[in-house]
C-alpha cells in the first residue's frame, strides 16, 4: 500500500550510459500503470532541475517517442555532477513541498545514491514525508551490494566488440596496440575486453586493471614476452591503472591535469595515457639502432558510454526493469532504498531485484574481486562466467586459422 | 570467354575495413561458381605472401566459415603495406610462373591499385599472360573514378552513430567536445558525421575537413560563436585538417612524429591532435580569471575501420558484389582494371559496376567536391544526399525536445 499521496520527481545524474533512458522509461510506464502517483515530473539536469523547478511533465509523452528515447544513450532529462550539501537540499525540499512531491526516483551511480541518501536523511529530519529510490546505472559496474549495474553490460559489449575487431586489425597488420578503457577505480569494464578472445592466440594478450598495481618493469617485460611469442601484442589497459607506490600512471605522468567537481582527476576525454604507454614501449623495447617498433594507442573514450544501436539486450531489459521496480516498491509501501539485482543459483543466467539501504551503496566503490584477476595482467575464467551473460551475444566472427 | 588457363591469386592490402572480407568471400564464391580458374590461392599478407609463396587454398573452405569471415573486420588473409618496385615484382612473377598463376585479384585502396598497375605493366613487358583486377576498399572513399568505395559506408555509419551518441552525451552534460575522425587527405569520413544531425540544434555543430584550410583564428571564432549560442559545442575534425599555409595541423603541432613506409605522417593511433585542439580551446576561450571551460577530445581511431557487428548492409552487399564482379569480368575475357561502381539516375539509390583502367585509380586521391563543403566548417545537403544511402539506416533515437 502506497503511503504518501502526491507527485513524483524523476531525475538522472552522473555520466551517460547507453541504457539509462530505459530506466527512465521504466519509471514512466510503471507510474502510468500503477496509478498511486499524481503527476510525474522529470527534473532537467538532475538535482539542479529540482532546485530550479525546471520540470517536464512525463505522464503524457507519446509511446512512440518513449520507445525512441529508451533506445537513446545519455540522460534524456539531462544530467548533472552537482552533489547536494545541506543548503542545496533545503532548496530541494522547498521545491518538493511547493510541488507536493512525495516520491523521488534518482537514476545514477554511487554519487547519486549518496545524493539520494542525503536527501532522504534531511527528509526524515524535517519530518517531510518522502519516498526516495535510487535506480542504479553506471558503466563502471562499481556499486556495492549490486551484483551488477545497468549500463555495464552494454559498455562491456562495446568494449569487447571493439577489442575483438582490433584483434583482427592487429592480426592483419601486426604490431603493438594499446587500448585504453574507462574505469578510474574499478576494472570491470577493462576486464570485459577478455570476452573478445575466441582462440588461443587472440588478443587482448594483456589486460591491466586498477586493482592490480603495475610497475613499469613488469609492463615492459609482459609486452616484450608477448611480442616475442606472437609477433604482435594487443593490450587492454584501464584509464585508472596504478603503480606499486599507489599513484595512478596518469598521476605520475602528468602534473596539473584537470579535476572535476567531485575532486576526480580527468582521465577520460584525453588520449594522453595511451600515447604515453605507446611511447614508453617504443622507447624502451625498440631494438637499439634498429627500426622503431610499430606501436599505436586508441582511447575508447565516450563511445563506451554513449554509442547508440549496439546495446546488450539483457542490459536494456534489466535497465527497464529496475526503473519499473522502483515504482512498484513505492506502490507496495516501501519508502526508500536502492533497487539492486542478484543472481539466482540457476544454471541459466537469471536475476531478481531487491531493495537495499541507500547508505550501503552510496559513495564507496566496489572493486574487481581478487579471484577475477590473474598474474596482474589477465582475468580469470570466473570473471568470464560473471560478465558473459551481461554483455550478451557478440559478433560471430572467424578467421582462416580455424582451418589449421 | 576467359583467355588464360591456370590458377588465381587473391590478396588483401592496406588498412582494414569492416567489409574487406565480403569482397574476398565474393571472389571465392564466384571462382567456385564460374569454373574457369583451377586453384584459388589466398596470399598471406598481400604481395609479401606472393613472393614468399605463402598461400592458403581457398576453394574448399567451408561455407559456414566463409559466412563468419565475411562478417569479420580486417583482412582475413593478412595485409601488407609493402609497395612493390621492379625488383619486388620480378619475385612476384617468379612465384606466379612457378604456380601457373594467370589471375591476380588484389583488394585494396589507391596504393594497391598502383601495385596492381605495376604488376600488370611488368607482365606485359615480360609477355607473361596475366589478368590483373583491382578490387576497391578504403574507409577514406578517396579513389578516383569510383563513385564510392566499399568500406566507406560502414565506417561512415560508425562515425555517424558515434557522433550521434556523443551529441546526446554532450546535451546531457554540456561542454565542448572534439571528435577526431580518420582521413589524411580526404574529408569524406569526417563529413559523414553530418548524418548524426536530426534536429536544428543537434551536433556536430562544426565539421572540419582537410580540403578546407582552417586557421587557428577561424577555428576559435567558430567554437566561441557556437558555444555562446548553444551553451555547448560538438566538433568533428578530420585528422588531416590543414592550415592556410599548407601544413597540416598535425605537422605544425608536432616535430619528429612517425612516418609509415609510404612516407605518410602518423596521424592515427594517437590522441595528440584531439588533445591539442581541446587544450587550445581551453587556453584561448576560457574566461580570464574564471572557471576553465569543460573541453574533452576523443580520437575515434581504429574502431572506425574495424568495429564488428555494425556494418552498413548496403556497404556489405556492394563489397561482396565488387569481389564477385572481378571474377565475372575475368571470366568474360577482360584482362585488367579496377572494379568501380557508378550510380544510376533513378530516384532510388541504385548502382552498377564497370571496369576502369588501373592507372586512373592508382596513387592519386579523390577529394571532397567543393560543392560538398560549406563555410569551411560544415557540409552541404548535396553531401548528405550523396552519403546517406551508403551509411544506411542509423539508430532511431529521440529526445524530449521533440515535444517543444
The answer to whether the CB atoms of B397 and A165 lie below 8 A apart is: no
Contact A179, A236 (CB under 8 A): yes
Other C-beta atoms closer than 10 Å to the C-beta of A193 total 30
pLDDT of residue B264: 46
pLDDT tens string A346-368: 889 999 999 999 999 998 899 99
Q: What angle do CA B155, B341, B7 make, to 5 degrees?
A: 95
Contact B163, B196 (CB under 8 A): yes
Average pLDDT of span B47-76 = 97
Residue of A133, A75, A67 whose CA lies nearest to B172: A75
Q: Which residues contact A229 (CB under 8 A, 6 or more apart)?
A: none
> A367 to each of B174, B232, B279, how far by Cα in Å?
29, 34, 32
pLDDT of residue A90: 82
Q: Which H or E run includes B347?
A: none
- Going by pLDDT thresholds of 50, 70 and 90, the confidence category of residue B84 is confident
Here the ipTM equals: 0.95
- Bridge partners of A322, per DSSP, are none
**Which residue would you say has higher pLDDT here, B140 or A267?**
B140
Per-residue HEC secondary structure of B67-94 comes to HHHHCCCCCCCCCCCCCCCHHHHHHHHH
The answer to whether the CB atoms of A272 and B270 lie below 8 A apart is: no
Residue A92, classed as helix, strand or coil, is helix
Q: How far apart are CA A237 and CA B34, in angstroms?
A: 48
Q: How far apart are CA A229 and CA B16, in angstroms?
A: 24
* Chain centre to alpha carbon of residue A232: 30
Contacts 24+ apart (CB under 8 A), A328-334: A328/A30, A328/A34, A329/A133, A329/A355, A330/A2, A330/A36, A330/A37, A330/A103, A330/A105, A330/A131, A330/A133, A331/A2, A331/A34, A331/A36, A332/A1, A332/A2, A333/A1, A333/A2, A333/A3, A334/A131
Task: Name the CA dihedral angle for B213, B299, B142, B387, rounded to a multiple of 10 degrees.
Answer: -100
Q: Which three cell numbers stand for residue A139?
A: 558503466
From the list B162, B173, B272, the residue facing A271 with the nearest CB is: B272
Q: How near does any CA of chain B get to the CA of A286, in Å?
A: 14
Other C-beta atoms closer than 10 Å to the C-beta of B346 total 8
- N-terminal to C-terminal alpha carbon distance within chain B: 65
- Is pLDDT of B86 > 90? no
Q: How far apart are CA B373 and CA B56, in angstroms?
A: 45
Buried b / exposed e over B191-202, threshold 16 CB at 10 Å, is: bbbbbbbeeeeb
Q: Residue with C-alpha cell 571470366?
A: B331
Q: Which residues contact B19 (CB under 8 A, 6 or more apart)?
A: B73, B137, B150, B151, B153, B154, B311, B315, B316, B319
Give the whole-number percent of chain B exceeding pLDDT 70.
96
* Low-confidence residues in chain A, pLDDT < 50: 256-264
Any idea what DSSP says for residue B201? T
The answer to whether the CB atoms of B310 and A308 lie below 8 A apart is: no
Residues from chain A contacting residue B397 (CB–CB below 8 Å): 68-69, 71-73, 308
Give the whole-number percent of chain B exceeding pLDDT 90.
82
* Chain centre to alpha carbon of residue A200: 29
B212 touching A (Cβ < 8 Å): no
pTM here?
0.96
Q: Which H or E run includes A77?
A: none
Q: How far apart are CA A305 and CA A14, in angstroms?
A: 11
Residue of B203, B176, B177 whose CA lies nearest to B300: B177
Q: How far apart are CA A395 and CA A196, in angstroms?
A: 10
- Is pLDDT of B266 > 80? no
A57 touching B (Cβ < 8 Å): no
Q: Which residues contact A164 (CB under 8 A, 6 or more apart)?
A: A195, A196, A198, A394, A395, A397, B308
DSSP assignment of B222-261 equals HHHHHHHHHS-EEEEEETT-B-TTS-BHHHHH-SS--B-T
Q: Which residues contact A348 (CB under 8 A, 6 or more apart)?
A: none
- Is pLDDT of B233 > 90? yes
Average pLDDT of span B165-174 = 97
- Is pLDDT of B265 > 70? no
Average pLDDT of span B344-357 = 94
> To probe the interface with A, which of B165, B199, B257 has the most A CB atoms within 10 Å?
B165
Q: Which three cell numbers stand for residue B277?
A: 585542439
The answer to whether the CB atoms of A166 and B403 lie below 8 A apart is: no
Q: Which three cell numbers stand for residue B274?
A: 584531439
Q: How far apart are CA A146 and CA A163, in angstroms?
A: 27
Residue of A346, A287, A351 whose CA lies nearest to A315: A351
pLDDT of residue A4: 87
Catalytic residues of A: 140
pLDDT of residue A373: 98
Q: Which three cell numbers stand for residue A9?
A: 520527481
Phi, psi of A47 (to 5 degrees): -60, -30
A308 touching B (Cβ < 8 Å): yes
- Is pLDDT of B267 > 60? no
From the list B272, B399, B400, the residue facing A275 with the nearest CB is: B272
Contact A157, B62 (CB under 8 A): no
pLDDT of residue A267: 52
Q: How near does any CA of chain B get to the CA of A305, in Å?
A: 9
> B404 to each of A51, A56, B205, B228, how far by Cα in Å?
22, 11, 21, 21
Q: How far apart are CA B251 and CA B263, in angstroms?
A: 13
Residue of B16, B109, B9, B97 whose CA lies nearest to B57: B9
Where does residue B230 rank: exposed (0-12), middle (13-18), buried (19+ CB within 10 A)? middle
- N-terminal to C-terminal alpha carbon distance within chain A: 65
> To probe the interface with A, which of B172, B260, B399, B400 has the most A CB atoms within 10 Å?
B172
pLDDT of residue A87: 87
pLDDT of residue A258: 45
Cα dihedral B95, B100, B105, B111 sign: positive
Other C-beta atoms closer than 10 Å to the C-beta of B60 total 9
pLDDT tens string B186-229: 999 999 999 999 998 999 999 999 999 999 999 999 999 999 99
Other C-beta atoms closer than 10 Å to the C-beta of B290 total 7
Q: Residue with C-alpha cell 552498377?
A: B352
* Count of residues making up chain A: 404
> To probe the interface with B, which of A199, A271, A292 has the most B CB atoms within 10 Å?
A271
pLDDT tens string B95-108: 998 999 999 999 99
B253 touching A (Cβ < 8 Å): no
Q: How far apart are CA B356 and CA B334, in angstroms?
A: 11
Mean pLDDT for all residues in chain B? 93
* Chain centre to alpha carbon of residue B387: 13
Q: How far apart are CA A74 and CA B133, in angstroms?
A: 46
Q: How far apart are CA B12 and CA B74, in angstroms?
A: 9
Q: How far apart are CA A133 and CA A11, in angstroms?
A: 11
Amino acid at each position: 500500500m502506497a503511503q504518501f499521496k502526491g507527485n513524483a520527481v524523476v531525475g538522472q545524474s552522473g555520466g551517460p550510459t547507453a541504457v539509462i533512458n530505459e530506466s527512465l522509461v521504466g519509471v514512466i510506464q510503471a507510474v502510468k500503470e500503477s496509478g498511486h502517483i499524481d503527476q510525474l515530473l522529470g527534473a532537467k539536469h538532475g538535482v539542479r532541475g529540482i532546485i530550479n523547478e525546471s520540470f517536464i511533465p512525463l505522464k503524457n509523452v507519446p509511446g512512440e517517442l518513449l520507445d525512441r528515447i529508451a533506445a537513446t544513450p545519455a540522460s534524456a532529462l539531462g544530467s548533472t555532477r552537482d552533489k547536494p550539501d545541506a543548503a542545496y537540499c533545503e532548496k530541494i525540499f522547498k521545491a518538493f513541498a511547493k510541488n507536493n512531491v512525495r516520491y523521488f526516483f534518482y537514476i545514477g551511480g554511487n554519487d547519486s545514491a549518496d545524493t539520494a541518501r542525503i536527501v532522504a536523511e534531511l527528509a526524515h529530519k524535517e519530518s517531510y514525508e518522502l519516498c526516495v529510490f535510487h535506480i542504479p546505472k553506471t558503466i563502471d559496474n562499481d556499486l556495492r551490494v549490486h551484483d551488477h549495474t545497468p549500463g555495464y553490460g552494454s559498455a562491456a559489449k562495446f568494449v569487447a566488440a571493439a577489442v575483438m575487431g582490433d584483434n583482427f586489425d592487429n592480426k592483419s597488420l601486426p604490431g603493438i596496440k594499446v587500448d585504453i578503457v574507462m574505469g578510474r577505480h574499478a576494472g570491470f569494464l577493462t576486464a570485459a575486453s577478455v570476452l573478445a578472445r575466441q582462440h588461443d592466440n587472440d588478443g587482448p594478450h594483456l589486460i591491466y586493471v586498477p586493482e592490480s598495481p603495475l610497475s613499469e618493469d613488469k609492463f615492459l617485460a609482459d609486452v616484450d614476452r608477448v611480442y616475442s611469442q606472437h609477433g604482435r601484442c594487443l593490450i587492454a589497459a584501464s584509464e585508472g591503472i596504478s603503480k606499486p607506490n599507489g599513484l595512478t600512471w596518469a598521476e605520475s605522468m602528468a602534473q596539473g591535469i584537470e579535476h572535476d567537481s567531485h575532486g576526480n582527476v580527468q582521465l577520460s576525454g584525453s588520449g594522453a595515457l595511451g600515447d604515453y604507454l605507446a611511447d614508453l614501449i617504443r622507447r624502451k623495447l625498440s631494438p637499439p639502432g634498429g627500426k622503431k617498433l610499430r606501436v599505436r594507442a586508441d582511447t575508447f573514450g565516450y563511445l563506451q558510454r554513449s554509442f547508440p544501436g549496439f546495446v546488450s539486450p539483457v542490459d536494456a531489459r534489466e535497465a527497464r526493469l529496475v526503473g519499473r521496480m522502483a515504482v512498484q516498491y513505492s506502490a507496495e509501501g516501501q519508502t526508500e532504498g536502492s533497487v539492486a539485482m542478484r543472481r539466482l543459483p540457476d544454471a541459466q543466467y537469471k536475476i531478481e531485484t531487491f531493495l537495499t539501504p541507500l547508505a550501503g551503496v552510496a559513495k564507496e566503490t566496489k572493486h574487481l574481486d581478487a579471484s577475477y584477476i590473474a598474474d596482474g595482467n589477465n582475468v580469470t575464467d570466473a570473471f568470464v562466467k560473471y560478465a558473459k551473460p551481461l554483455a550478451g551475444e557478440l559478433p560471430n566472427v572467424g578467421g582462416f586459422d580455424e582451418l589449421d
